[in-house]
Amino acid sequence: MTDHAAIDVPFSFRHQCWFCAEPSKQSLNFPLHEDEIALCEHIPLQLPCCPECLSIAKQHKWSTTHFDMFRSKLKKALALRYKKHLDIGNNWTKEELEQSEFNGKAFEGFKKSAWMMFEIAQGRMEFQGWPIIVNGLEISAFTQPSFSFDGEEFPHLEAAVQEYAKRFQINPAYLSAVVDKIGSTRFSAAIRHCRIHPLDEPEDLALLVSLVN
């Protein structure tokens, strides 16, 4: 069994989840599975984690080779879970909520708590953790070779996904899902598929990914 190195935790972040800043009562070992360690771009890490983020991580079988990629996927899952709370900030401003004319006890309760729920959810989404350092050394000291594609070097696969999604105006979640399915060695094929079958609606993602062979 491979040991996962516990990351250094600054005093100001003690007892906080590295992913969302909620109170951390447990740790998440990345990679989660023994058979993924050989593909990981850095040494196995032990990250402070709250029960909810740990639960989400264990529910999904994400194929990721870098903690940045894993964090990105976990954040997306967290955002989906708290979509109603996050939508509050998209639909109202704080002042609009305070001045709204909701009637009834239930609506009054919503009026008082809605903005606070939005701010909590938004804070969790915006939190970016702290630099990954193990025994005083930054993670770059332990990082394996970067991802290469078409003569370009990227710090990791997720960086390449974000860059090529931007270049070809592809939904990054769509490109990431296709790469997960067919593997990073077929990165060119993943880009080609996403360009041939553009994602018009978020609901189409699962269907279009299923068309990849």
pLDDT digits (tens, 9 = 90+) for 60-111: 877 788 888 899 889 989 999 999 988 888 787 878 777 776 665 545 666 6
Q: Tell me what pLDDT residue 123 has.
A: 92
pLDDT digits (tens, 9 = 90+) for 166-206: 999 998 888 888 888 888 888 999 999 999 988 877 666 77
pLDDT of residue 42 exceeding 90: no
Question: In the structure, what pLDDT confidence band is assigned to residue 2 with cuts at 50, 70 and 90?
Answer: low
Question: In the structure, what pLDDT confidence band is assigned to residue 53 with cuts at 50, 70 and 90?
Answer: very high
For residue 166 the two structure tokens come to 């931007």
Q: Tell me what pLDDT residue 69 has.
A: 83
pLDDT digits (tens, 9 = 90+) for 104-163: 554 566 666 788 888 999 999 999 899 999 988 887 656 655 678 888 878 778 788 888
Q: Kind of pairing, strands 45-49 and 147-149?
A: unpaired
Which has the higher per-residue pLDDT, 213 or 180?
180
Question: In the structure, what pLDDT confidence band is assigned to residue 50 with cuts at 50, 70 and 90?
Answer: very high
Instruction: Measure Cα distances from 182 to 43, 59, 102, 176, 206 in Å.
Output: 24, 21, 50, 10, 14
Mean predicted confidence (pLDDT) in 21-47: 89
pLDDT digits (tens, 9 = 90+) for 54-64: 999 998 877 78
Q: Tell me what pLDDT residue 26 has.
A: 93
